[in-house]
Amino acid sequence: MSRRSAMLVIATAFAILGCKKGDQHRGASADAAAAKIDTTVGHAPPGVRIKVEVLNASAARGAARRAALLLRARGYDVVAIGTSRTTQVPTLVLDRSNHPEWAALISKAIGGKAVARPDTSRYLDATVVLGTDWTPPSMPFYP
């Protein structure tokens, strides 16, 4: 084994051990955020492409990106993310294509409430508007 590959193995071991040690000291706030949103429900039905737009209407930076990662992990096709011009308190899932069952699934996945607002001018099935009440679940770090 060359010196370079040995150093790589050692660095990888320290990185793994460091991550495990850091998980023990996460604190109650990360556990509370993970407990707020159930990560086992709200998956997209197999064989169906549900197009979703995610808008951040809270003051938290990166909330739309984290919600997009969460929805993509559950099989939704997040086609756009952005920031709303105004802030709002409740997190809403807007049904754009008159499929209330899809909006209900997204609502379960994200922890908001579904609202029917059909809009045929958009090429979307749903819009998620993240309010100030939305707390993202703890997610793995992607460099």
User: What is the residue-averaged pLDDT of the chain?
Assistant: 78
Q: Are strands 51-56 and 77-83 parallel, antiparallel or unpaired?
A: parallel
Does the structure show a pLDDT above 70 at 109? yes
Residues present in the chain in total: 143
Model confidence pLDDT, tens digit, residues 24-45: 433 334 444 444 555 567 889 8
Does the structure show a pLDDT above 50 at 16? yes
- Whole-number Å distance between alpha carbons of 25 and 81: 32
Query: Tell me, what's the pLDDT at 27?
Result: 39
Q: Once rounded to an integer, what is the mean pLDDT over residues 116-138? A: 87
Does the structure show a pLDDT above 50 at 126? yes
Q: In a 3-state reduction of DSSP, which class is residue 53?
A: strand
Query: Tell me, what's the pLDDT at 119?
Result: 82
Query: Tell me, what's the pLDDT at 136?
Result: 82
Query: Tell me, what's the pLDDT at 130?
Result: 94
Residue 135 host element (H or E): none
